[in-house]
């Protein structure tokens, strides 16, 4: 059984059999959610359901009860891809059909009917969450790709990562000036990737309505790099 550790002591269940990270849920920062942590990247955990009590606690706090389940479906792999990095692995979320659907639904409910014509997804993991959201809200999906992947004429922006540097590119003509976009990725760490995506779209006159990620690592203060673009996240993790 998973446990939720709440500052309101709404639910204190026995600790799970694996080490836990602390996850802080969006909109109710006082609730801390443990998630899975593994010492090997080869072992895939099945996604356990959150306990009934945990779901009730989330409801009493006015929080979307889907969020704790989404949080608990994310695995953390220490020291990947290099020592010191606590890697937030969303592949376990993808194995959990309910958590995956709920993740997409939460975003769709937020953005449907908001006049958004562009969903920009950042390679690679933004390509998992972006397309179903784009289809559901009736927007086009624009891939923001790693260098030398797009065959047409591109514009590009460089950025730095929590573990290295990189560049993203977008096809010229994929978007029109005046269009309204959301930018989707799985995670914001230092914010360098999303900041580069914002710069790319703004260079061609697109309005960034919001950036949306499943996970934020708040300790890395990535949202401070986003300028005036708002950030919407489902889960905040202090395992940076
Ligand atoms: O906020 P930042 O510090 O910029 O980091 C966040 C980015 O890092 C990860 O992608 P990564 O560059 O590892 O590429 P991948 O999805 O291709 O593995 C993640 O999916 C985000 O895109
Ligand atoms: N800690 C982390 N986990 C997963 N993806 C990341 N991208 C940058 N930092 C990351």
Report the CATH number at residue 207.
3.40.50.2020
CA dihedral over 217, 124, 119, 142, signed as positive or negative: positive
Domain presence at residue 145: yes
Q: How far, in Å, CA of 134 to CA of 118, rounded?
A: 7
Residue with the larger pLDDT of the pair 163 and 79: 79
Q: How far, in Å, CA of 136 to CA of 58, rounded?
A: 27
Measured from the Cα of 217, ligand 2's closest atom is: 1
Residue with the larger pLDDT of the pair 13 and 134: 134
pTM listed for this prediction: 0.82
Q: How far, in Å, CA of 92 to CA of 75, rounded?
A: 6
**Domain encompassing residue 218:** 66-236
Question: Above 0.90 for ipTM, yes or no?
Answer: yes
Residue 72 and residue 50 in contact, taking contact as beta carbons nearer than 8 Å: yes
pLDDT band with cut points at 50, 70 and 90 for residue 162:
low
Report the Cα 73 to chain-centroid distance in Å: 13
Q: Which mutation among 79, 85, 126 tests ligand 2's pocket best, with the greatest number of atoms within 8 A of CB? A: 85
Q: How far, in Å, CA of 196 to CA of 167, rounded?
A: 8
Residue with the larger pLDDT of the pair 45 and 185: 185
Q: How far, in Å, CA of 140 to CA of 96, rounded?
A: 26
Domain presence at residue 166: yes
Q: Which protein residue has the closest C-alpha to ligand 1 atom 16?
A: 124
Torsional class of 45: left (φ above 0), alpha (ψ -120 to 50), beta (otherwise): beta
The single residue listed with the structure tokens 């920062």 is: 29
**Residue 90 pLDDT more than 70?**
yes
How many independent structural domains does the chain possess? 1
Cβ within 8 Å of residue 227, ≥6 positions away: 195, 198
**Residue 170 pLDDT more than 50?**
yes
Ligand 2 geometric centre to CA of 64 (Å):
25
Q: Which mutation among 161, 167, 184, 222 tests ligand 1's pocket best, with the greatest number of atoms within 8 A of CB? A: 161
Ligand 1 geometric centre to CA of 164 (Å):
10
Measured from the Cα of 217, ligand 1's closest atom is: 1
Domain presence at residue 103: yes
pLDDT band with cut points at 50, 70 and 90 for residue 96:
very high
Domain presence at residue 93: yes
Domain presence at residue 171: yes
Strands 140-144 and 164-171: unpaired
Q: Is 81 exposed, middle or buried (0-12, 13-18, 19+ CB in 10 A)?
A: exposed
3 state SS of 233: strand
DSSP 79: T
Residue with the larger pLDDT of the pair 235 and 10: 235
Residue 238: predicted pLDDT: 86
Residues with CB under 6 A from ligand 1: 122-125, 161-162, 166, 185-193, 222
pLDDT, average across residues 29-47: 31
User: Quick count: other Cβ atoms within 10 Å of Cβ 43?
Assistant: 9
Q: Which two tokens stand for residue 132?
A: 């179903």
Q: Which is catalytic among the residues 37, 125, 145, 223?
A: 125
Residue 26: predicted pLDDT: 41
52 catalytic per annotation: no
Q: How far, in Å, CA of 77 to CA of 87, rounded?
A: 5
**Residue 149 pLDDT more than 90?**
yes
Which H/E stretch holds residue 146?
A: none
219 catalytic per annotation: no
Measured from the Cα of 240, ligand 2's closest atom is: 1
Ligand 1 geometric centre to CA of 193 (Å):
7
Domain presence at residue 46: no
Residues with CB under 6 A from ligand 2: 85-88, 162, 187, 189, 217
């Amino acid at each position: 059984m998973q446990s939720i550790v709440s500052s309101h002591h709404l639910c204190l269940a026995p600790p799970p059999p694996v080490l836990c990270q602390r996850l802080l849920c969006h909109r109710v920062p006082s609730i801390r959610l443990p998630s899975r942590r593994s010492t090997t990247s080869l072992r895939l955990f099945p996604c356990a359901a959150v306990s009934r009590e945990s779901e009730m606690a989330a409801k009493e706090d006015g929080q979307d009860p889907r969020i704790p389940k989404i949080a608990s479906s994310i695995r953390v792999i220490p020291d990947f891809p290099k020592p010191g990095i606590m890697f937030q692995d969303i592949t376990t979320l993808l194995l959990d059909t309910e958590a995956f659907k709920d993740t997409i639904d939460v975003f769709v409910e937020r953005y449907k009917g908001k006049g958004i014509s562009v969903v920009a997804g950042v390679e690679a993991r933004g390509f998992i969450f972006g397309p179903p959201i784009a289809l559901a809200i009736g927007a086009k999906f624009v891939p923001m790709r790693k260098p030398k992947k797009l065959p047409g004429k591109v514009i590009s922006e460089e950025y730095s990562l929590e573990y290295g540097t990189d560049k993203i590119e977008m096809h010229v003509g994929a978007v029109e000036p005046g269009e309204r976009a959301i930018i989707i990725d799985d995670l914001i760490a230092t914010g360098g990737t999303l900041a580069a995506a914002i710069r790319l779209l703004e260079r061609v006159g697109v309005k960034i309505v919001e950036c949306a990620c499943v996970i934020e690592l708040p300790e890395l203060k990535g949202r401070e790099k986003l300028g005036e673009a708002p950030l919407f996240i489902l889960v905040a993790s202090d395992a940076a």
